[in-house]
Structure 1
Amino acid sequence: MRLLRELKHRGTLAAVATALSYAPSSVSQQLSQLEAEVGVPLLERVGRRVRLTEQAEILVAHTEAVLERLERAESEISSSLTDLTGTLRIASFQTAALTLVPTALGLLRDQHPHLRVHVTQMEPERALPALQTRDFDLVLAEEYPGSHNPRPAGLQQQDLLTDALRLALPPTLELPCTEPPLTVLRSLADHPWVMEPEGTAARHWATTLCRKAGFEPDVRFETTDLLLHLRLVEQNHAAAFLPDLVWNGHPPTVPLHPLPHGHRTRRVSTATRHGRTHHPAIHSCRTALTRAATLPPT
């Protein structure tokens, strides 16, 4: 049943085998055995892929409930101990990983020296599904204005902070600060831009904002690395939308302009699975991240 659940989240038998260090043939054999035990088909072929049947979805739902109860039991056991040990696996997008995570790690190390923390830099589009498949215990995620993406099922999210978003201009490009934000943005219709790749929430938000100003942005540079965004702006290659976390409390190095109302902040949150919510390691990490968000930059 665990393999069936993994297949639902990972999509292919090969991905399940890789994630669990099984041979693909072993995964197929165990799922075939489960079908024989249940007495109904659990998988159906769709081209070169397989899809879960309605009966398989029922089994997966029960598996999710069992795994959640097991995680709650583990949390209660950990809460009963005086020393916090084990491994906490965190995924974070870049700007939070650069600004909030190092400070939080220091606080965790001082309070819980025997807790082992693994950190992976990963964008929320990949990290949240990986949280569902139990590759991580906690994810730092971002949510841009106007986002209509549903939050993944089975996850509990907690707001951490709001991060201001601003228009960053090359130093040689002088625009009057007294103009309305949409007018300033519209004046960049023919200017090169750097944005995050297609398919990311940040790119969707940025493109929507430019279209609201009446133009399709000339995106010549695409990367999830916001420090590269900043460098391209500093070197007069492109305009960009940058969050305040990029500066980490230090003075900006390029001219910044406000954005139109309704597009001025993104939400930063932490996410974990429902069964993990009350685990002391999760609670301690969230507390450390909250404190890190209020401390001055080092």
Structure 2
Amino acid sequence: MFELRRLRMLHELALRGTLAAVADALAYSPSTISQQLALLEREAGVSLFEPDGRGVRLTAQGRLLAAHAERAIELDEAARVELERLVPSATPVRVAVMQTAAQAILGPALSLLAGSDPDLRVDVAEVPPEEGLFELSARRFDLVVAEQYPGSARAHRADLDREVIGHDPIRLALPPDETIASLADLRDHAWVMEPRGTAARSWALDQCRAAGFEPDVRFEIADLTVQVSLIAAGRAVGLLPDLVWGDAPPRARLVDLPQAPTRELFTAARRSAAARPGIVHVRDALRRAFPA
């Protein structure tokens, strides 16, 4: 019989590509990962790996077993869900949350859970949506709070279950004394945007290009509170979601955009674990904490 722990390591290698990355994700040493995978290869009786520079890559047999490993892990998770339904456990819910959701809805959601499920432990890490969704599949997290911008769609994956939390308006954010009132008039201004490769950056670029110009992105910053500081100081303009302000008054002059765009916030969980009571309760609290 294959040992599930070793199958998990093989699954991680198929996702992450290197032994070092697997070791970091699972908190083992690279030598331990290598030894355990060698034992798995011996159990399989076929070659699962072949040299690839200084590392290894999966053979055809390795890729086949990795696919079976993923199904075995899903079955193990589904069995644990059924057991937890019968006898509630103290298993923590590990949540990856993006910055604005952490600022605006995490505290109220945890307060709701403290009243309804005081024994439920929730472990939270602030993680960009793209990374969080990857790590959800890799089982580092049980639940991810992510975003989707208008006119774009994240791939719908069969192994993930998605639920909408709410919709967050996006507005043009200008220095407090700026008199310009339209996106098209900002072609000569310095812009602050999120890093390349993020959904927010792609959407913001599309809005500027649709207005007839290529923005001068002088500040590439993931932290939206820093973006707010630059805009409030008169050093840049940007496109910001309303959640960034929380309950505080805006520190920038906000201008509505044509067609009043909103970004969709959603939670994602693995389908094999989505019915787990702890995950269901955390999702419910996040929805209830979203500003009306």
Name the SS for the 1:216 alignment partner.
coil
What is the aligned partner in structure 1 of residue 147 from structure 2?
A: 142
- What's 1:286 paired with? 283
Task: Give the gaps of 5 or more residues in structure 2.
Answer: 1-6
CA shift for structure 1 position 294: 4.5
1:200 and 1:49, CA in 2 relative to 1: closer, same or farther beyond 3 A? farther
Is the contact made by 1:207 and 1:216 (CA closer than 8 Å) also made in structure 2?
yes
2:3 corresponds in structure 1 to: none
Distance change >3 Å, CA 27–CA 292, structure 1 → 2: same
Match of 1:230 in 2: 228
Identify if the C-alpha distance between structure 1 residues 153 and 9 changes in structure 2 by more than 3 Å, giving closer, same or farther: farther
Report the counterpart of residue 83 of structure 2 in structure 1: 77
Alignment of 1:137-216 (within 5 A): 137-151=142-156, 154-176=159-181, 184-216=182-214
Q: Cα deviations across residues 179-234 of structure 1 (Å, max 9, x unaligned)?
A: xxxxx212111100111111211111111221222222111112111111111111
Structure 1 portions without partners, runs of 5+:
177-183
Q: Counterpart amino acid of 1:234?
A: A
CA contact (8 A) 1:164 1:264 kept: yes
8 Å CA contact 1:194, 1:221 repeated in 2? yes
How far 1:23 moved relative to its partner? Answer: 2.7
Match of 1:5 in 2: 11
In structure 1, the residue matched to 2:262 is 265
* Amino-acid identity (%): 48
Q: CA deviation at 1:131?
A: 1.2
User: Is 1:125–2:124 an aligned residue pair?
Assistant: no
CA distance in 2, matches of 1:195, 1:4: 38
Letter in 2 for 1:51: R
Name the counterpart of 1:88.
93
- RMSD, aligned CA: 1.9
Cα distance in structure 2, aligned partners of 1:149 and 1:290: 20
Match of 2:111 in 1: 106
User: Deviations 1:53-92 (Å, cap 9, x if unpaired)?
Assistant: 33222212222222112212211221113x5522111110
Structure 2 SS opposite 1:267: strand
Q: TM-score, normalised by structure 1?
A: 0.89
User: For 2:186, what is the secondary structure of its paired residue?
Assistant: coil
Greater CA drift, 146-155 or 199-208? 146-155
Distance 1:70 1:34 in 2: 18
Task: Find the aligned partners of 2:127 and 2:41 in 1 and give their Cα distance.
Answer: 36
Aligned partner of 1:14 in structure 2 is: 20
CA contact (8 A) 2:162 2:268 kept: yes
Cα–Cα, structure 1 residues 293 and 149, in superposed 2: closer, same or farther, change >3 Å? closer
Q: How many residues align?
A: 286
Scaled by the length of structure 2, what TM-score is found? 0.91
Partner of 2:272: 275
1:84/1:114 contact within 8 Å kept? no
Matched with 1:44 is 50
**CA distance, structure 2, for counterparts of residue 244 and residue 114 of structure 1:** 33
Maintained 8 Å contact 1:129/1:152: no
Separation in structure 2 between the aligned mates of residue 110 and residue 124 of structure 1, nearest angstrom: 28
Tell me the SS of whatever aligns to 2:272: helix
Tell me the distance in 1 between the aligned counterparts of 2:11 and 2:174. 47
